């Protein structure tokens, strides 16, 4: 069951006690605790309609912050000029690019959990795919907005799109920035379709609740006349199967190209051949952590304890630990080669991180990304504790934001011309925009969580149908029916 | 004019440079480069298309200052060019100049990140030209608004004017008559400009000097500015 737990030696017996207890009572597992279809539907739809005073207070507050912090600061910056940021000559890129990379990273959670775990048949993915896919679409919109925020003349930013124009000029396909735009648009379209496909049966479920008014009309239109016939299921499963394979290379391409924005340049510390896989691993690491945070919030605020259980947190937390190790491996490989190479210019970057102005961020990053997960996540109890996981995963995302902050705004402080060295600190306007972008993400997500069913009921039901218990003598043995023909 | 191709280049003799900053002032006047003011300079947003980099060497009692006039190197293999998605940074194949098209620039600042010499400048705010300096703005040069990159053009307006005048008069284009403002102003003659493709031109002759070297040559940017230096020619203090 858990190789990691066994490997921890004498810790093992204490660590896996919780797990063994869980095994005695199979009904603790979602797929061995089936309920009637109607009850499942009601649970999810009730959660979706649960918009009490608390919900609207949070949404209202987020909306105020999104407009007052994110939009207002952005408009102020457009009207006065990029000078209101903390950017300067060596630091032409700042927290906007760091945030852009961060939000693109968050968007990797959906595809990873949904597509990769689906292909590998990880059963614990079933109730959490939708919540993760919603994160992908939402964070991609926030990430794309940072490309507009970053540029000096946002009113001409649409020139980056290739369209026949009066200037008689195509955009420059040599520029990694253009690859970026192409990859993000592809990923946004692809991931939205991928969110939509498995949603169709659940939209039909919402439609059949007879909400009346415009909502029912919207659900009716979006459900595309879903009746749940044999043929429809066949088509849907085929489409999902194709999409989950196709979306994976798209996901890889996005963060690869984001890393190439940096790796294709001559800037110190950026020109690294391992940046692409390093960034992808970091993206999945931070995306999985964000998915855990969001699931824990959704679980308690929408009363989804039946669907999102300790086993699901445990499964994701294990992946987080593995990705923490892989990320550390890449980090170490990148750092060691730079240090061992002994290049004087490269060493200014090393010194900057170890004892220079970005050292506090650097040590904080190592603490949140390596020390905390390695010391805690081997423990099965911690992996099942929502409170502990909430702290750990938020810490990981702080650490991953710091990683992008260091790589983008830290490395740029040094270059081959020492006269042009200079430090950087984000201005209040930049901080307001970055903070506001988080509020915007949460606002979009909160609204989306009440607009579409956050649990793919049919996937859970499918899983419950294929899982059963059998008596073997006095023991009860869980059995699984293979779904692939 | 059979051949309409020029390889404009510059030689900067560090042994002659006294770091008097006359070239900086001349460039400001010729190219309508705005003065960004003290506060912006402290924030490392100084705007000089040509600037004098000053580096200190040695211990406290024996400090030596080393001065390097630094301007766009008009690299043949310019790192700023491929990264611009708008073709705002563009290589002029006829003049071998690194052109900045302000109207195309959206201010992504990718070129500024990728320029190893850090000679590209961003308009953080709209330019401010206090009176009476507005009276001396050069009508041949556009004023750049906020949000675009700018940098040394080798005074491309002077190159074009000299070429067009020669064409209008029907005489061969004498490239030695073209001088950017910095070269024209340099009191010690440390800056020499010309067509590197003419082997007899002064700039081509000096570029072959054993004292010549390229800045950050190891990066493979192939700059067209040759620096000349021999031995210790620094200003001493203390």
The ipTM of this complex is 0.91
Nearest-CA neighbor of B144 among B158, B123, B165?
Answer: B123
Subunit contact A265:B148, Cβ cutoff 8 A? no
B87, B117, B147 member nearest A152 (Cβ): B147
Reply yes or no on whether the pLDDT at A288 is more than 50: yes
Query: Which chain A residue shows the shortest CA-CA distance from B149?
Result: A152
Is the pTM for the entire model greater than 0.90? yes
* Model pLDDT, residue B2: 43
- Chain B nearest-CA distance from A275, in A, is 17
Reply yes or no on whether the pLDDT at A388 is more than 90: yes
Query: Which tens digit of pLDDT belongs to each residue from B29-52?
Result: 999 999 898 999 999 999 999 999
Most confident listed range (A3-7, A45-49, A377-381) = A377-381
Question: Where residue A81 falls among pLDDT bands split at 50, 70, 90?
Answer: very high
B46, B53, B107 member nearest A417 (Cβ): B53
Query: Which chain A residue shows the shortest CA-CA distance from B54?
Result: A419
* Model pLDDT, residue A430: 95
* Model pLDDT, residue A165: 87
Average pLDDT over residues A452-481: 85
Nearest-CA neighbor of B96 among B162, B8, B195?
Answer: B8
Reply yes or no on whether the pLDDT at A10 is more than 60: no
Please state, as a whole number, how many other Cβ atoms lie within 10 Å of the Cβ of residue B60: 7
Which one of 3.40.50.300, 3.40.50.1000, 3.30.70.20, 3.40.50.261 gives the CATH number of domain B8-236? 3.30.70.20
The C-alpha atoms of residue A102 and residue B188 are separated, in whole angstroms, by 52
Q: Pick the residue with more confidence: A33 or A236?
A: A236
Nearest-CA neighbor of A37 among A197, A202, A200, A195?
Answer: A202
Average pLDDT over residues A180-185: 92
* Model pLDDT, residue B235: 52
The C-alpha atoms of residue A51 and residue B96 are separated, in whole angstroms, by 65
Chain B environment of A412 (Cβ under 8 Å): 113
Query: Which tens digit of pLDDT belongs to each residue from B199-237?
Result: 999 999 999 999 999 999 989 999 999 999 986 655 554
DSSP state of B33: P
The C-alpha atoms of residue A462 and residue A464 are separated, in whole angstroms, by 5
Measured between alpha carbons, how far is residue B213 from residues A9, B12, B52 in Å? Answer: 63, 10, 18
Please spell the DSSP secondary structure of A39-83, one letter per residue: HHHHHHHHHHH---HHHHHHHHHHHHHIIIIIIHHHHHHHHH-GG
Looking at every residue in chain B, the average pLDDT score rounds to 90
Residue B84 at interface with chain A, using a CB cutoff of 8 Å = yes
Query: Which tens digit of pLDDT belongs to each residue from A248-267?
Result: 999 999 999 999 999 999 99
Question: Where residue A15 falls among pLDDT bands split at 50, 70, 90?
Answer: very low
Query: Which tens digit of pLDDT belongs to each residue from B2-39?
Result: 457 899 999 999 999 999 999 999 999 999 999 898 99
% of chain A with per-residue pLDDT over 90: 63
| Residue A341: Cβ-neighbour burial (10 angstroms; 0-12, 13-18, 19+) | exposed
* Model pLDDT, residue A485: 55
- Return the bridge partners of B97, or none: B92
Cβ A95 vs Cβ A405: under 8 Å: yes
Residue B57 at interface with chain A, using a CB cutoff of 8 Å = no
Average pLDDT over residues A201-223: 88
Subunit contact B45:A267, Cβ cutoff 8 A? no
| Residue ranges covered by each domain of chain B | 8-236
Subunit contact A172:B84, Cβ cutoff 8 A? yes
Reply yes or no on whether the pLDDT at A2 is more than 70: no
Reply yes or no on whether the pLDDT at A311 is more than 70: yes
- Chain A nearest-CA distance from B68, in A, is 10
φ and ψ at residue B122, rounded to 5 degrees: -110, 140
| Residue B136: Cβ-neighbour burial (10 angstroms; 0-12, 13-18, 19+) | exposed
Reply yes or no on whether the pLDDT at A234 is more than 70: yes
Average pLDDT over residues A370-392: 93
Burial pattern A259-283, b for ≥16 Cβ within 10 A else e, equals bbbbbbbbbbbbebeebbbbbbbbb
SS3 (DSSP) at B161: helix
The C-alpha atoms of residue A375 and residue A395 are separated, in whole angstroms, by 13
Measured between alpha carbons, how far is residue A50 from residues A68, A138, A301, A454, B43 in Å? Answer: 27, 21, 9, 12, 51
Q: What is the distance, to the nearest Å, from the Cα of residue A207 to the centroid of all Cα atoms in its chain?
A: 29
Reply yes or no on whether the pLDDT at A333 is more than 80: yes
| Residue ranges covered by each domain of chain A | 31-154+174-480
Subunit contact B108:A150, Cβ cutoff 8 A? yes
A92, A152, A181 member nearest B148 (Cβ): A152
Chain A environment of B126 (Cβ under 8 Å): 81
The C-alpha atoms of residue B10 and residue A230 are separated, in whole angstroms, by 77
Measured between alpha carbons, how far is residue A405 from residues A185, A276, A283, A480, B111 in Å? Answer: 24, 17, 14, 46, 20
- Chain A nearest-CA distance from B185, in A, is 24
Residue A182 at interface with chain B, using a CB cutoff of 8 Å = no
Subunit contact A150:B148, Cβ cutoff 8 A? no
Query: Which tens digit of pLDDT belongs to each residue from B51-73?
Result: 999 888 888 888 888 899 999 99
Q: H or E element: which one contains B70?
A: strand B64-71
Subunit contact B147:A266, Cβ cutoff 8 A? no
Residue A49 at interface with chain B, using a CB cutoff of 8 Å = no
- Say what angle helices A230-263 and A275-301 make with each other, to 10 degrees: 130
Residue A168 at interface with chain B, using a CB cutoff of 8 Å = no
% of chain A with per-residue pLDDT over 70: 94
Query: Which tens digit of pLDDT belongs to each residue from A127-156?
Result: 899 999 999 999 999 999 999 999 999 999
Question: Where residue A1 falls among pLDDT bands split at 50, 70, 90?
Answer: very low
Question: Where residue A484 falls among pLDDT bands split at 50, 70, 90?
Answer: low
Reply yes or no on whether the pLDDT at A428 is more than 90: yes
Nearest-CA neighbor of B196 among B214, B212, B208, B211?
Answer: B208
Residue A237 at interface with chain B, using a CB cutoff of 8 Å = no
Residue B109 at interface with chain A, using a CB cutoff of 8 Å = yes
∠ CA B140-B141-B142 to the nearest 5 degrees?
125
Query: Which tens digit of pLDDT belongs to each residue from B133-190?
Result: 888 899 999 999 999 999 999 999 999 999 999 999 999 888 888 999 999 999 999 9
The C-alpha atoms of residue A199 and residue A204 are separated, in whole angstroms, by 9
Q: Show the DSSP H helices in A371-480 as ranges.
A: 372-376, 380-383, 386-405, 428-451, 457-466
φ and ψ at residue A480, rounded to 5 degrees: -130, 135
Chain B environment of A87 (Cβ under 8 Å): 109, 122, 124
Q: Which of residues 2-21 of B touch A (CB under 8 A)?
A: none
Chain A environment of B104 (Cβ under 8 Å): 159, 167, 169
Cβ A447 vs Cβ A455: under 8 Å: no
Which residue shows structure tokens 């620096």? B227
């Amino acid at each position: 069951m858990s190789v990691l737990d066994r490997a921890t030696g004498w810790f093992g017996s204490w660590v896996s006690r919780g797990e063994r207890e869980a095994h005695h009572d199979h009904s603790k597992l979602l797929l061995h605790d089936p309920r009637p279809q109607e009850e499942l539907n009601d649970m999810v739809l009730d959660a979706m309609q649960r918009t009490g005073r608390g919900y609207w207070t949070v949404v209202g507050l987020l909306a105020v912050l999104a407009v007052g912090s994110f939009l207002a600061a952005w408009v102020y910056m457009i009207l006065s000029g990029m000078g209101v940021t903390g950017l300067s000559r060596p630091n032409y890129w700042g927290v906007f690019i760091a945030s852009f990379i961060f939000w693109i990273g968050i968007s990797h959670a959906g595809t990873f959990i949904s597509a990769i775990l689906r292909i590998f048949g990880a059963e614990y993915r079933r109730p959490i795919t939708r919540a993760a896919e919603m994160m992908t679409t939402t964070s991609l919109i926030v990430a794309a907005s940072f490309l507009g925020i970053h540029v000096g003349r946002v009113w001409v930013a649409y020139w980056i799109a290739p369209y026949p124009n009066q200037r008689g000029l195509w955009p420059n396909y040599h520029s990694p920035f253009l690859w970026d735009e192409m990859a993000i648009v592809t990923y946004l379209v692809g991931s939205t379709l991928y969110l939509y496909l498995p949603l169709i049966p659940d939209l039909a479920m919402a439609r059949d609740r007879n909400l009346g008014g415009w909502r029912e009309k919207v659900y009716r239109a979006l459900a595309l006349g879903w009746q749940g016939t044999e043929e429809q299921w066949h088509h849907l499963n085929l489409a999902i199967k194709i999409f989950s394979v196709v979306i994976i290379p798209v996901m890889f391409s996005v963060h690869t190209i984001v890393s190439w924005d940096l790796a294709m340049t001559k800037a110190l510390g950026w020109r690294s051949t391992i940046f692409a896989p390093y960034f992808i691993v970091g993206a999945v690491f931070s995306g999985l952590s964000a998915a855990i945070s969001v699931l824990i919030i959704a679980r308690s605020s929408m009363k989804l304890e039946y669907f999102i259980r300790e086993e699901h947190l445990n499964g994701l937390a294990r992946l987080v630990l593995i990705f923490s190790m892989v990320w550390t491996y890449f980090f170490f490989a990148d750092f060691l080669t730079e240090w061992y190479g002994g290049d004087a210019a490269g060493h200014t970057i090393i010194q900057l991180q170890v004892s220079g102005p970005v050292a506090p961020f650097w040590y904080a990053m190592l603490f949140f990304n390596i020390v905390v997960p390695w010391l805690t996540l081997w423990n099965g109890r911690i992996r099942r504790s929502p409170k502990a996981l909430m702290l750990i995963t938020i810490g990981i995302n702080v650490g991953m934001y710091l990683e992008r902050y260091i790589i983008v705004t830290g490395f740029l402080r040094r270059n081959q011309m020492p006269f042009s060295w200079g430090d950087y600190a984000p201005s209040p306007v930049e901080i307001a925009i970055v903070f506001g972008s988080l509020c915007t993400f949460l606002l979009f997500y909160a609204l989306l969580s009440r607009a579409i069913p956050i649990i793919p009921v049919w996937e859970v039901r499918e899983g419950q149908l294929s899982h059963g218990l059998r008596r073997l003598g006095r023991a009860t043995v869980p059995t699984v029916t293979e779904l692939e023909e | 004019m059979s051949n309409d191709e020029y390889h404009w280049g510059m030689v900067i003799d560090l042994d002659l440079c006294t770091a008097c900053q006359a070239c900086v002032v001349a460039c400001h006047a010729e190219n309508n480069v705005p003065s960004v003011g003290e506060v912006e300079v402290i924030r490392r947003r100084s705007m000089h298309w040509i600037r004098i980099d000053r580096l200190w060497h040695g211990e406290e009692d024996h400090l030596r200052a080393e001065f390097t006039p630094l301007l766009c190197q008009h690299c043949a293999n310019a790192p700023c060019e491929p990264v611009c998605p708008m073709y705002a940074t563009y290589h002029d194949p006829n003049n071998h100049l690194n052109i900045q098209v302000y109207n195309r620039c959206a201010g992504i600042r990718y070129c500024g990140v990728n320029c190893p010499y850090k000679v590209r400048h961003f308009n953080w705010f709209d330019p401010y030209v206090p009176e009476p300096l507005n009276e001396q703005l050069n009508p041949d040069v556009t004023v750049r608004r906020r949000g675009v990159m700018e940098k040394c053009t080798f005074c491309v307006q002077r190159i074009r004017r000299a070429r067009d005048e020669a064409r209008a008069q029907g005489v061969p284009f004498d490239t030695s008559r073209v001088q950017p403002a910095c070269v024209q102003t340099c009191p010690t003659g440390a800056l020499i400009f010309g067509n590197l493709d003419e082997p007899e031109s002064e700039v081509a002759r000096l570029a072959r000097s054993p004292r010549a070297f390229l800045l950050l040559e190891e990066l493979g940017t192939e700059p067209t500015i040759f620096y000349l230096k021999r031995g210790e020619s620094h200003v001493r203090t203390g």
